[in-house]
Each structure stands twice: as structure tokens, then as C-alpha cells.
Structure 1
């Protein structure tokens, strides 16, 4: 990557009107932003209609942490270990000290921006938080109201036992 590419900047504008000046090469984590920067070479302001200011601040922090890392390759199914869920590395654990609501916003932003590394990281943290919780604890965690009556719960439990646990 050239020095001029590392030093050139773009402005990202969030849906709440906040502007963030970032180095162009930091946005390489985002397929969407990389494409927009490539196509719109003269334009240095990019509106992000689906991301608010605080969430974009976290996205930028995440990108900055990985700016000197090689491009991210999503792991194949063979690479994934489904039987264990190890504790996240220290930086990730500290980075994701946020509410479930903020984590959900970050997941949506990662999906909107097409950021595979952030999608995988946010979903990993979400699964780590949910691991071992009961249905009631998960409902509380995500603010889900149980609209089933006892009869419906009893009917569904044996059928979806494998899914719940």
C-alpha cells in the first residue's frame, strides 16, 4: 500500500449527522467502504445511513486495532470448533465491554458495512455471552417477552429440546 494511500483520508457521515475523518486504508476492513472509495475516487464524504455515531466510533476503533494485520479470511467450516467456546482474547474482551443493545447495533453495522472480521467477532462474543444460559436467561438478556402460555411451552419443549440446549 502506498504512503499516499495510507495518509489520504475520507469523511464518514453517520445517520445522526456526526462526521468522522478516517484514513482510507483503515476502511479496507469494510467491503462496502472499500468499494465506494474505489468507485468514487474524487468523493471524500461517504454517508452511512444505517450507522449512528457511537457505533461508528466503535467500528473505527476495531478497524484501527487491525490496521496492520493481513486481510481477514473467513474460517472454513473445517476450521471451526463447535464443541468448545474458548474465552476471547484480552483485547476483544475489553473492546466488547458493552451492553447487549450496543453489541446488537455493532452486529448490524458490521453486516451493513460488510466487515467479515467484525461480523465474526461480534457473533463470537454474542455466542460466548449466551453460552450455557437458560431460555429464561436468554429472554431476559435480549428483552424477549414470552408470549406462549404454559400449554404451548410444554408442547414445544420436547420437540425443540435440542435447539434450546
Structure 2
């Protein structure tokens, strides 16, 4: 018995090749992952839809970071589109954090976290921006300047005298 497949019934799956800043590392993704980025989605709306694979160079994003961005987006590929909080109280609400988000973002170093937030901002991936910034806020909440410097491996930019002067200045002039 021979199976016959009508070509009209087979869905056309377009693939996208993302090239990291090293110009060597390539990631092949599908439309579900690509559509989580408002920037890439908009770019693809003006592309020729007949191509089976479209190449997109992302010179600003390292291979490691792009891999992490794709891993995050892949986790949400079958989820409802993310709707970020809007309105005057949006900054007061906390995004819902799944256990997976917390574990994934906690596994990143502070540099990787900054990189992934910057990449998410560049690509306009709202869910990742909100999750990353929430993690960043959690890491710094109720910490002293010294603790935050230690967490992010930063040295002080000011001398002790300058720091004291800044602490004593009124917040609003």
C-alpha cells in the first residue's frame, strides 16, 4: 500500500538562520521562536516568504548569548503571546516568574545576565526583558552598595571622600 500526501496539506515550515557576532556560529530556528522578537518578526514581514531559509546576521550578539536567548524563547514557543504590563502602574507590578525562568536566569553569571537583557532589548523580546530585569532587581534588592559591587564584580568609581559627599547630598535639588 502506498501513501499519497497532497502537497497542499503539508504545512510550509520556514526556517531562519541566525548568525552570531563571531560570523561562524549559526542557529536554525522556526517561526514560533522568531515571532517572540518584535524586531525579527517585523523584519520577516517585509521578506520574501517563498524562501525556505532566511539568514539573519546578529553582529551585536555573541554565540553564547544568542544560544541562551534561543533556549529561553524555545521554552515559550508554544505559549500564548506575552503581554507586558502597561499603564501608569505597570512599573509597580512584578511579572509572573515561572520556576523555569528563575532556575534558568539564576544559572547565568552576572555578565551573562546583563548580556541576555541587552540582547532581549535589542531584539525586543518583552518576556525575556521583564524576566531578566526582575532577576536583576531580585539580586540587588535590599543590598548595600558594597554587596552589589561584589555581586557584579565591580570596583568603586569614587574615592571614599567622593562617596561620602554623594551620600550627604540631597536626592533632589
Alignment TM-score, normalising by the size of structure 1 = 0.84
Q: Which runs of 4+ in 1 moved over 4 A?
A: 85-88
* Matched ranges for 1:27-42 at <5 A: 27-41=34-48, 42=51
Equivalent residue in structure 2 for 1:90, among 99, 102, 119 = 99
Q: Which consecutive residues of structure 2, in runs of 5 or more, have no partner in the other structure?
A: 1-9
**Could you say which residue in structure 1 is the equivalent of 2:110?**
100
* Matched ranges for 1:129-140 at <5 A: 129-140=139-150
**CA distances 1:48-74 after superposition (whole Å, capped 9, x unpaired):** 111111111111111111112222221
Q: CA separation of 1:59/1:147 partners in 2, compared to 1, >3 Å: closer, same or farther?
A: closer
**Could you say which residue in structure 1 is the equivalent of 2:89?**
78
SS of residue paired to 1:4: coil
2:73 equivalent to 1:63: yes
SS of residue paired to 1:67: coil
1:66, 1:40 → 2: CA distance?
24
Q: State the Cα RMSD in Å.
A: 2.5
**Could you say which residue in structure 2 is the equivalent of 1:142?**
152
- Flag the structure with higher helix content: 1
Alignment TM-score, normalising by the size of structure 2 = 0.80
Larger radius of gyration: 2
1:64, 1:12 → 2: CA distance?
14
2:66, 2:99 → 1: CA distance?
22
2:166, 2:55 → 1: CA distance?
51
User: Once structures 1 and 2 are overlaid, which stretch shifts more, 147-156 or 124-133?
Assistant: 147-156
2:18 equivalent to 1:9: no
Shift of 1:13: 0.6
Equivalent residue in structure 1 for 2:32, among 25, 30, 53 = 25
